[in-house]
Amino acid sequence: MTLLEFARGPGLQWAVTVFIIGVLWRLLGVFLLRAKPDLSEPRNPAAWKGLRLIALRSWPRREFLEGTAFGEVMGYAFHVGFLVSLFFFAPHVLFFADVARGLIGTDLRGLVGFGWPTLPNGIITLLSAVAVAALFAVLIHRFVNPVKRLISNFDDYFSWFVTVAPLVTGLAAFSHLSGWPYERLLAFHLLSVELLLVWFPFGKLMHAFTIFAARGTTGMIFERKGASL
């Protein structure tokens, strides 16, 4: 079995299995916790209005802009680049379509009549490179800023590594950057994705699944208390 065969076969299967088990374990373990009863009189009975915090927290607040601008800009640069390259690069779209066909018997085209669009490779490459640059910028910032350096732990650095690795290996495989055989670069790319999947549920990357629920819950609690969002 070659490295690529392992990465495309057993490696991927085990990584997907660990990812699903880990994510469900973490999510259900949190969502099924008993909420602490709030016996106080609500100042605002329409607590659901606090859900708008999900959107509000996605945009910088003017009064904190000076301190948060770097993180906001880099955060958006990374997330947009990462998500666009993940969901709009043609080989990735083919992978997701294959997964959909395996799970529900059809892909998006069969389900709703139109396919998932893909973007030209030039755009994907550019956005991926921007995402990598943003990740390195935040890492340097983490090293330089004494407070961030103090509060950083293994989870922060390892989560950074498993996030940047698929981007770098993907760019290398696509552009044949290192002069290595393509199939070896492709195998490294797949293995780096598998490392990401395995680590995902157990580190801070899990925020991808919990961030909006957490913001919504916080917003509803604040709204109930009559706090300003």
Partner 1 sequence: MPSPTLREFLRARGVTRREFMKFCTATTAMLGLPATMVPRIAAALGEARRPSVIWLPFQECTGCTESITRAHGATIESLIFEAISLDYQHTLQAAAGDAAERVREQAMKDNWGQYLLIVDGSIPTGNPGYGTIAGRDYLEMLKEAAEGAAAIIALGSCAAFGGIPGARPNPTGAVAVGDVVKDKPIVNVPGCPPIPVVITGVLTQFLTFGKVPELDALGRPRSFFGQTIHDRCYRRPFYERGQFADSFDDEGARAGWCLYKLGCKGPTTYNACATVKWNNGTSFPIEAGHGCIGCSQPGFWDQGGFYQPLSTGNWGNARTVATAVGVGAALGIASAALARKRQRDAEGK
22 binds partner 1 (CB under 8 A): yes
**Number of chain positions touching partner 1 (CB under 8 A):** 45
Under 8 Å between Cβ of 134 and 78 = yes
How far apart are CB 68 and partner 1 at their closest, in Å?
A: 33
How far apart are CB 220 and partner 1 at their closest, in Å?
A: 20
When the beta carbons of 43 and 176 are compared against partner 1, the nearer one is: 176
Among 46, 55, 73, 99, binds partner 1 (CB under 8 A): 99
> Which residue intervals of 89-153 are DSSP H helices?
90-104, 108-112, 121-144, 146-151
Residues 27-86 that bind partner 1 (CB under 8 A): 27-34
Distance between start and end Cα atoms, the chain: 56
13 binds partner 1 (CB under 8 A): yes
Q: Which residue in the block uniquely carries the two structure tokens 């209005």?
A: 49
CA 138/CA 95 separation, integer angstroms: 30
Which tokens hold the place of 27?
A: 């999510």
When the beta carbons of 168 and 186 are compared against partner 1, the nearer one is: 186
Under 8 Å between Cβ of 138 and 71 = yes
208 binds partner 1 (CB under 8 A): no
